[in-house]
Amino acid sequence: MRAYERLYRYAQVNTTSYESNEAVTPSGAGQFDLANLLAAEMKELGLQGVFVDSHAYAYGFLPATPGLEGRKRLGLIAHLDTVDDCGGTDTHPQIIERYDGKPIALGASGKVLDPEMFPHLKDCVGKTLLTTDGTSVLGADDKAGVAEIMTLCERLISENIPHGAISVCFTPDEEIGHGASLLDLEKFGADLAYTCDGSAPNEIEYETFNAASAKISIEGLSVHPGTAKGRMINAMLVAMEFNAMLPADEIPAKTEGREGFYHLTDAKGDVSSASLQYILRDHDAAKFEAKKQKMLEVTGALNAKYGAGTVTCALRDQYRNMAEIIRQHPETVEIAEAAIRAVGLAPVSQPVRGGTDGAQLSYRGLPCPNLGTGGYAYHGLYEHAVAEEMDTCVEMLLHVVKGFAER
Active-site residue, selected from the candidate residues 41, 81, 203, 250: 81
Q: Report the distance separating Cα 172 and Cα 57, nearest Å.
A: 6
Q: State the Cα–Cα distance between residues 151 and 164, nearest whole angstrom.
A: 17
Residues in contact with 219: Cβ distance below 8 Å, sequence separation at least 6, in sequence order: 235, 272, 273, 309, 310, 311
Among residues 133, 148, 173, 174, the one annotated as catalytic is 174
b/e 290-309 (16+ beta carbons within 10 angstroms → b) = ebbebbeebbeebeeebeee
**Residues in Cβ contact with 228 at an 8 Å cutoff, skipping those fewer than 6 apart:** none
Q: What gap in Å lies between CA 22 and CA 44, rounded to an integer? A: 32
Is there a catalytic annotation at residue 174? Answer: yes
Cβ atoms within 10 Å, residue 398: 20
Containing H/E element for 3? helix 3-11
In which order are the strands placed within the sheet that holds 48-52?
A: 48-52, 58-62, 166-171, 74-79, 192-196, 370-371, 204-205
Length of the chain: 407
* Measured torsion, CA atoms of residues 181, 318, 350, 370, in degrees rounded to the nearest 10: 10
Give me the active site residues, please.
Answer: 81, 174
